[in-house]
Structure 1
Amino acid sequence: MRFAIYGTGGVGGYFGGRLAEAGEDVTFIARGEHLAALRRDGLRVRSIAGDFHLPTVAATDDPAEVGAVDVVLVAVKAWQVAEAIEAMRPLVDEETLILPLENGVEAARQVAEAFGPEHALGGLCGILAWRGEPGEIVHAGVDPFVRFGELDNRASERTRRLKAAFDGARGIEAEIPDDIHVAIWSKFLFICAMSGIGAITRAPIGVTRSQPATRELIERILDEIARVGRARGVALPDDAVQRALRFIDRLPESGTASMQRDIMDGKPSELASQNGAVVRLGREAGVDTPVNAWIHAALLPQERRARGELDF
């Protein structure tokens, strides 16, 4: 299959790199020094699942140079999806699948509204990875997985073909869940809780999950997210919160979420798409979310500063 990886950070660089390593036709959409390094030296991945180096990769900052592909793997930050949708139009023809792997629960809807539901898959991934030096991806934790499916949860030949491509790559577990919306919200539970508590405390997950006061906050964040999801028709299992806690407890002690790292570095973050989304979607569904509302309000001034909207 012919892939375009829109966003070559930790997620796009790792999964796109593994697909390219397996022989798939992969083009990376990148920019700046990262793009220059990819063109000059290829892609290097330092991974707990095995390092690898692709000395030559296809990389560009202009989707029009690539043309239509079979699959666009969208791996930008959640707040960049709207901009990416407009820029990726040259990659999409009537047969193209678009697989968003963002944190949050709204990217598939954005894709469906922009291109039509026939182009959109629901998707998520799990990995603790980031961009290191230009041209380098660091995978430091979590056994990498991708999960995807049709938005109406029907079985389809195109998702089976996509799974076969991922299955051919090492260092990736691919799955087509029975209900992709449950899968997306199940991931949203733990990543939103981890992001929110980490951004507020500036501490790694090993600290926040072990301190009674912050662990209680994590549990309350999770409970609010689960109640919002169920109110919006997502069939989350009764033990969804406990499952999310068990996943959090298995993470490396030094683990941090990308939203947390961005906020600590003074960069724009996914605050609006994570804890902010819980508040907004909860309000629409008539569900009160006081802990997520407090986290969102407390972090909003520095988020606005990072976006150039406040100066202090």
Structure 2
Amino acid sequence: MRIIFVGVGALGSYFGGALAEAGHDVTLLIRNKAHRDAIRADGLILHRDGVEARIDPVVVDTETAGDAGIADIVIVFTKTGATKAALQAATPVIGSDTRLVTVQNGLGNAEDLAAFVPMDQVIYGTTMAPGDMVAPGVVSTHGSHVTQFRAAGENPVTERVANDLAAMLSAAGIDTRVNSDVDRVIWAKVAFNCAMNSLCALLDTSPGQLLDSSETKALVKATIMECCNVAAAVGVEVDRDGVHRTLDMVHREHREHVPSMLVDFRNRQPTEIASLNGAVVALGARHGVPTPRNETLLALVRAREAQYLKA
């Protein structure tokens, strides 16, 4: 199968690089010229738990996406606010039988992809994989993590593609599972990110330092519980103990990871706050669930974002 990646930052490079290293037909659509040129010149350098690999995936400029040909699978790793624009630029690679895959942060991603293919050609889910862009052409990941997704709808071809892709990723070293109950997992990650991403960004700190403090750890847990209450109101029961176990794992294994929202702050880029705390606050208001901590974090992130985006 021809697999094309859209949104090739740290995670897109990691997933694409791992599949390419395993021998699959992978093309990376890359808008960032420095990253694109570095991979073309020196290969993609992937560090996994300290082990370095040099990989040579096919690289195509997003501006000339048609050069990549029609994809069997398009895997989207853009930031949520950029999904539609990125897929619009990538329409030359999307055919009538192409399956679109998202494991992006936040809520509403499957619906965004369904603007480009029928919903029953969408595969959606989430990943706990961390990824860091060390330099153009160089990415790293570390620790244990699981990726989970499912086919939207009941299209048997899409279900087969989901199973095949999960097997391919797992064989490439990325633990991946098809999970029919993935909405619970998505909401668990949303709850985690609403607390951890926003607080790490606002405090300019790492997950380890944030969770070392009993005061900020209590705030993290309270924010997570608000999100779980909203999830319950829309019919999704989150494994609250499971989210706390994830916190403990991150505290141990991903202490120095730089969350994506903190990267956005440092690079003065738009964040994904709208699809995280913003979506939770909106759903909470719709269903009568109080979300005061999420409202506060949303306001603070938007205020900080506005400062540097207007500068």
Q: Could you say whether these structures have the same fold, taking a TM-score greater than 0.5 normalized by the shorter chain as the test?
A: yes
Q: Distance in 2 between matches of 1:185 and 1:173?
A: 20
What is the aligned-residue identity percentage? 29
> Per-residue displacement from partner, 1:83-137 (whole Å, max 9, x unpaired)?
1121222221122111112111221121124422022111211222122222111
Residue pairs, 1:1-312, within 5 angstroms: 1-31=1-31, 32-48=33-49, 50-55=51-56, 57-61=58-62, 62-139=64-141, 141-152=142-153, 156-169=159-172, 171-237=173-239, 239-308=241-310, 311=311
Alpha carbons of structure 1 residues 56 and 91: separation in structure 2 relative to 1, 3 Å? closer
Letter in 1 for 2:169: F
Letter in 2 for 1:161: D
Alpha carbons of structure 1 residues 226 and 251: separation in structure 2 relative to 1, 3 Å? farther
Q: Distance in 2 between matches of 1:204 and 1:305?
A: 22
Letter in 2 for 1:180: V
Aligned length: 307
Letter in 2 for 1:40: A
Alpha carbons of structure 1 residues 192 and 294: separation in structure 2 relative to 1, 3 Å? same
| Contact 1:189–1:244 (CA under 8 A) maintained in structure 2 | no
SS of the residue aligned with 1:132?
A: strand
Q: Distance in 1 between matches of 2:250 and 2:18?
A: 25
Alpha carbons of structure 1 residues 238 and 299: separation in structure 2 relative to 1, 3 Å? closer
> Per-residue displacement from partner, 1:154-196 (whole Å, max 9, x unpaired)?
8722222222221331x21011113121121122222221102
Alpha carbons of structure 1 residues 144 and 123: separation in structure 2 relative to 1, 3 Å? same
SS of the residue aligned with 1:93?
A: strand
Cα displacement (A) at 1:71: 0.7
> Per-residue displacement from partner, 1:261-281 (whole Å, max 9, x unpaired)?
211332221122222222122
Letter in 2 for 1:7: G
Structure 2 residues not aligned, in runs of 5+: none
| Contact 1:143–1:172 (CA under 8 A) maintained in structure 2 | no
Cα displacement (A) at 1:21: 0.5
> Per-residue displacement from partner, 1:66-88 (whole Å, max 9, x unpaired)?
12111111011122112112122
Q: Distance in 2 between matches of 1:133 and 1:199?
A: 21
How does the TM-score come out when normalised to structure 2? 0.91
Q: Distance in 2 between matches of 1:238 and 1:48?
A: 29
SS of the residue aligned with 1:45?
A: strand
| Contact 1:3–1:27 (CA under 8 A) maintained in structure 2 | yes
Q: Distance in 2 between matches of 1:241 and 1:46?
A: 27
| Contact 1:197–1:217 (CA under 8 A) maintained in structure 2 | no
| Contact 1:194–1:256 (CA under 8 A) maintained in structure 2 | no
Q: Distance in 1 between matches of 2:275 and 2:253?
A: 22
Letter in 1 for 2:280: V
Cα displacement (A) at 1:305: 3.1
Larger CA deviation: 121-130 vs 290-299: 121-130
Q: Distance in 2 between matches of 1:2 and 1:135?
A: 22
SS of the residue aligned with 1:254?
A: coil
SS of the residue aligned with 2:271?
A: coil
SS of the residue aligned with 2:131?
A: strand
Cα displacement (A) at 1:152: 4.2
Cα displacement (A) at 1:4: 0.4
Larger CA deviation: 42-51 vs 10-19: 42-51
SS of the residue aligned with 2:114?
A: helix
Q: Distance in 2 between matches of 1:133 and 1:209?
A: 27
Alpha carbons of structure 1 residues 238 and 207: separation in structure 2 relative to 1, 3 Å? closer
Cα displacement (A) at 1:17: 0.3
| Contact 1:196–1:295 (CA under 8 A) maintained in structure 2 | yes
> Per-residue displacement from partner, 1:271-302 (whole Å, max 9, x unpaired)?
22222222122222322110011011112122
Structure 1 residues not aligned, in runs of 5+: none
